[in-house]
Amino acid sequence: MTLNNTDLLSQAGSAENILKFDDIEPVLESNDLSVAYNGNTAISDVSIQIPKNSVVSLIGPSGCGKSTLLRCFNRMNDLIPSASVEGTVSFAGQNIYAPDVDPTEIRFRIGMVFQRPNPFPKSIYENVAFGPRINGMTDDLDEIVETSLRRAAVWEEVKDRLSDSGLSVSGGQQQRICIARALAVNPEVVLMDEPASALDPISTQAIEQLIQELSNEVTIIIVTHNMQQATRISNYSAVMMAGEERIGRMIEYGTNEQVFGNPKDERTEAYVTGRIG
């Protein structure tokens, strides 16, 4: 039987399609995670394990809750007054939504890079030094700034312009400065919400290469609409869908080889081949 788009999008998910790791302790894990805005459910019952030092892509059609899920991993949804979160997100052995957990500390340890470059209206130096300063890391600040810019593969381009505004450089350089800003406090995980969508192809290539290099040191979770990008940079991909009720659910999670080469769910196959999207 051939299913139409509505049928495909409205099917229930299967827990059997979600990869579980029996031999490692994930650096980040959600269980039965749901988010609502103004009482309207946006994502429902998402459970996922994120291995350390991996790149995990969140893919799926627009409006399926990818960015909502990403923001759950460092409590950015707390900044939206209408948002409510149920379920758990475990990081470093504790539920980050527990009452005694400081979300500011979580955001230092789980950094975030947004869709559009958003450097502060400060110098390049002060952009990168901002996190360490407010976190009390004032010793060797010059070294922290240089190391972070080197890790973000932008030091050679800006080392003679550190006093210039972070807004004075190209879009691709701005985004790498924002990545350096996130790296300056030594996070264990970096969340990226379509970090290359506003960039030209050359800058996009630089960001993709940077992501692959950084995954040797930190865990990266990236939202992307670009499936070719997901295949190039990720170790694992998670597919999300939303039906007519507009509630996002995770329908499949596995290695890139499995998700793109031998998907278990018909909706995944339809999405990666372009039949729905």
Please check whether residue 47 lies inside any domain of the structure: yes
CB atoms within 10 A of CB 19: 16
* C-alpha to C-alpha distance for 164 and 182, rounded to whole angstroms: 19
pLDDT for residue 125: 97
pLDDT at 138 over 90: no
Average pLDDT over residues 227-247: 93
Note the pTM of the prediction, 2 decimals: 0.91
Residue 200 belongs to domain with CATH number: 3.40.50.300
- Number of domains, the chain: 1
Is residue 6 very low, low, confident or very high in pLDDT (cuts 50, 70, 90)? very low
pLDDT for residue 198: 82
Please check whether residue 156 lies inside any domain of the structure: no
pLDDT for residue 245: 84
Please check whether residue 277 lies inside any domain of the structure: no
Residue 57's identity, in one-letter code, is: S
Please check whether residue 87 lies inside any domain of the structure: yes
Cα 246 from chain centroid (whole Å): 21
Please check whether residue 18 lies inside any domain of the structure: no
Please check whether residue 88 lies inside any domain of the structure: yes
Please check whether residue 48 lies inside any domain of the structure: yes
Please check whether residue 228 lies inside any domain of the structure: yes
**Average pLDDT for the chain:** 91
Range of the domain at 212: 5-9+27-115+188-272
Average pLDDT over residues 239-249: 90
- Would you say 94 and 39 are in contact if contact means Cβ atoms under 8 Å apart? no
